[in-house]
A and B are shown apart, each in its own frame.
Chain A
Amino acid sequence: MFLINCPYCGERDQSEFSCGGEAHIVRPKQPTELSDDEWAEYLFMRKNIKGVQFERWNHAHGCRKWFNMVRDTSNDKIHAVYKMGEKPPVE
């Protein structure tokens, strides 16, 4: 439970948002050429970090836009919010 500063709407309750999981997992450019191992890596394997993690969020009950967030999963503290397509901040 925390507040999220939506880059389009401002600060709202987390319950308005839905989390889209780990960010910056690049969709394969040539899906037909992927091995089973590479598919497993893309589809299922996750860093699931205890600590600072980059993730995608959607303001589902608001502007419905997607954006990225840097959050510490060990204490739910949000370090940065940035729009899709923008470079992730370097700590």
Chain B
Amino acid sequence: MKNKYSIFSLIKNAFSQHENWKQAWGDPEPKTEYEAIIIGGGGHGLATAYYLAKKHNMRNIAVLEKGWIGGGNTGRNTTIIRSNYLWDASAGLYDHALKIWENLSQELNYNIMFSQRGVMNLAHNLQDVRDLKRRTHANRLNGIDAVWLNTDQVKEFCPIINTSPDIRYPVLGGTLQRRAGTARHDAVAWGYARGADEMGVDIIQNCEVKGIKRNGDKVEGVETSKGFIKTKKIGVVAAGHSSVIANMAGIKLPLESKPLQALVSEPVKPIIDTVVMSNAVHAYVSQSDKGELVIGAGTDAYVSYTQRGSHDVVEGTLKAILELYPIFSRMKMLRQWGGIVDICPDASPIISKTNIKGLYFNCGWGTGGFKATPGSGDLFAHTIANDEPHKLNAAFNLNRFVSGDLVDEHGAAAVAH
């Protein structure tokens, strides 16, 4: 590795006041032709390029990003990583990702600050209790760690939660996945970008795709703000803008794009050392290494590309947070933002070929794509390189909306959509 990061390189560079670190990835102009083009330089897109180069030896490829890498949903999510999904197909997909997360810092030689601090999902009514217990059993049958906690155990695991039976939605228990946790979102994008760049992948920022050129049922290239680029394979990883790209190619996707909001508080000393999510009241919270509370709110219930989100959604989330954590009542919120999430009718992603030869889509991650970043990139790279899905993403094909073989994770995914 041309610029390997280690304690020794840190010491060596300290002597030159850290002024001689090499650029982690280049800023190339696009070539006229590539073997494959990835549209979208977020975590999923960069991971796809990284695995295409690393595992499938495709080095003459480019990632096109209309803004800067990691500036879309990769930089706008609440960085929660877990794999406690109900259905077998989802469990396989998300646990594949979690296993890669566990060694990713070493693999990339880049500290992605992966922290397995555990994710706890709360139950507030009897149906929640039944659903979450069922999910715990399903997880364990799939080899995913999961335990059911009663109210006292919830309190013991996270003492600041208000477990009084007198609140509007009392805590009746919860599930805990100890292998779950968080990672540093920017570092994930940067680590993959650096790894891909080193293997010869061109990462082209400020390059917006304006059109997809088709010849009958094959792709021929992409029209971009930096001119036309020829290619036989296009992998679209454009998150909320997937339908916009699909429209350029003349196909329709089963997606609706909606703003999803998150917010962070002023930084405080360590107060919550895990991630707590609540489906019923829609509030989830963790604490960043900087000390800010990271709070995830809900989506607006209508299509919008505004990257803002409505005030009443944030208000609803904060009401729930305050009832569950009265200790936060005087915290000030510092920043609020929205990202555009593409939601599938069954709340599961699409990692699939299309009817057009050479056109592949990785989309529909909805409100929970960050956790899947490494697995998504690995499986999408496999799909593009072999023109066939890997067995772990076979169920997540586009044809399931025709066959009816949906992977319905709406209620089961442990977060309301």
Interface residues of A (CB under 8 A from B): 1, 14-15, 18-19, 21, 36-37, 39-41, 43-50, 53, 55, 73-76
Chain A interface, DSSP helix/strand/loop, else mixed? mixed
Contact among B247, B306, B312, B402 for A74, CB-based, below 8 A: B306
B301 close to A (CB within 8 Å) = yes
> Least Cβ distance of B250 to chain A in Å?
12
CA A19 to CA B401, docked complex, whole Å: 22
The contact of B244 among A15, A39, A50, A76, by CB within 8 Å, is A50
- In this complex, how many residues of chain B approach chain A with their Cβ under 8 Å: the count is 27
Q: Please name all residues of chain A whose beta carbon is closer than 8 Å to the beta carbon of B244 when the two chains form the complex.
A: 50
User: If the complex has contacts A1-B311, A1-B312, are A45 and B303 also in contact, measured as CB distance less than 8 A?
Assistant: no
Q: Which residues of B contact A (CB under 8 A)?
A: 241, 243-244, 247, 252-257, 301-306, 308-312, 342, 345, 401-404
Q: List 10 A-B contacts (CB under 8 A).
A: A19-B301, A36-B403, A43-B345, A45-B401, A46-B256, A48-B255, A48-B256, A48-B257, A73-B305, A76-B306
Inter-chain contact B243/A44, CB cutoff 8 Å? no
Given A74-B306, A75-B306, 5 more A-B residue pairs with CB atoms under 8 Å apart are A15-B312, A45-B253, A48-B253, A48-B255, A48-B257
Q: Is the CB of B310 within 8 A of A14?
A: yes
**Docked-complex contact A48 and B310, CB < 8 angstroms:** no
CB-contact partner of B310 in A1, A21, A46, under 8 A: A1
With both chains docked as a complex, state the minimum distance between the C-beta of B272 and any C-beta of chain A, in angstroms: 29
A53 to B244, CA, bound (A): 13
> Bound state CA distance, A29 and B404, in angstroms?
21
By a CB distance below 8 angstroms, the chain B residues around A49 are: 243, 247, 303
Q: How far is the CA of A19 from the CA of B303 in the complex (A)?
A: 9
C-alpha gap A75/B303 in the complex (Å): 11
Q: Please tell me which one of the listed residues A15, A18, A45 contacts residue B254 in the complex, with CB atoms under 8 A apart.
A: A45
Query: Chain A's nearest CB lies how many Å from the CB of B311?
Result: 5
A1 CA to B401 CA in the complex, in Å? 31
